[in-house]
Structure 1
Amino acid sequence: MRLSSTGLDLLKRRTGLTLDARQDPAGLWFIGYGHYGDVHAGMTITQAEAEAKLEHEIGRHETQLAGMLEVPVSQGQWDALLLLVFDYGLIRVRSSILIRHVNAGAIDRAAEEFLKWIQVRGRPDMQMARRRAIEREMFLQGSQFA
């Protein structure tokens, strides 16, 4: 399964495009659409390079997410889960109660778990709370969301 155009648009709007390397609040360098890792001070990229980096990361996350799921999911569920992986990482999501509920077919219980993933550096964050509310709706209603 692939991230839908709706999910991709949401991901891009959330992260924004940064062609010059910047530091996040934790001091980590990022560039493009929230690309971390091989980024350093003074680094610049083109929009095409940012798109390529994002496409590579999406593919990597899709492969990882597919390996976590033991049941089929809808496009909206896939998109919501993939967006969560982008924010919190594979390791945290893979071992989560949310994934256990998805794999058990407990969709309503899984949807409620999204609302618990709102912390940044150990504190509740309003931006993350808004993201999770949108993802919860995607998860429950397919790809139609506000």
Structure 2
Amino acid sequence: MRLSPTGLDLIKRRNGLTLKARQDVSGLWFIGYAHYGDVSEGMEITQPEAEAKLEHEIGRFETQLAGMLTVPVSQGQWDALLLLVFDYGLARLRNSILLRHVNASDFERAAAEFSKWIQVRGRPDIGMVKRRDAERQMFLQGSPAA
């Protein structure tokens, strides 16, 4: 399964495009659409390079997420899970209660878990609260999130 155009647009809108490396609140360098890792001070990229980095990262997430799921999911559920992974990473999802509920086909309980993924640097963050609420709705209804 692939991230829908709606999900891709949401990632882009949420993260914005940064063509010159910047540091986040924790001091980590990022560039493009929140690309981390091989980024250092002074680094610059073009928009096509940012798009390529994003596509590569999403492709890696899709492959690994597919390997963690043991039940079929809807497009809305898939998108919501990938959006969560984009913010918190695959390792955190892999051992989560949320994933256990998904794999047990207990989608109501899985949806309730989204509200627990709201911390930035150990503190609740209003931006993450809004993201998780939109993803929970997307997960339950398959509708586009804001």
Q: TM-score range by the shorter chain?
A: over 0.9
Indicate the residue corresponding to 2:40 in structure 1.
40
Deviation of residue 36 (structure 1)?
0.5
Indicate the residue corresponding to 2:86 in structure 1.
86
Indicate the residue corresponding to 1:133 in structure 2.
133
Tell me how many residue pairs correspond in the alignment.
146
**1-structure distance, mates of 2:24, 2:57:** 19
1:6-64 CA distance string (max 9 Å, x none) = 00000000110000000000000000000001111111000000000000000000011
Counterpart of 1:138, as a letter, is: M
Identity %, equivalent residues: 78
- Is 2:23 the partner of 1:23? yes
**2-structure distance, mates of 1:49, 1:68:** 29
**1-structure distance, mates of 2:39, 2:144:** 35
1:52-100 CA distance string (max 9 Å, x none) = 0000000000011001100000000000000001111111011000000
Gaps of 5+ in 1: none
User: Secondary structure of 1:31's partner?
Assistant: strand
Deviation of residue 145 (structure 1)?
3.7
Deviation of residue 117 (structure 1)?
0.4
Gaps of 5+ in 2: none
- Is 2:120 the partner of 1:123? no
**1-structure distance, mates of 2:27, 2:50:** 20
Counterpart of 1:93, as a letter, is: L
Indicate the residue corresponding to 2:71 in structure 1.
71
The answer (yes or no) to whether the contact 2:93–2:99 under 8 Å persists in 1 is yes
Deviation of residue 144 (structure 1)?
3.4
**2-structure distance, mates of 1:143, 1:12:** 18
Counterpart of 2:118, as a letter, is: I
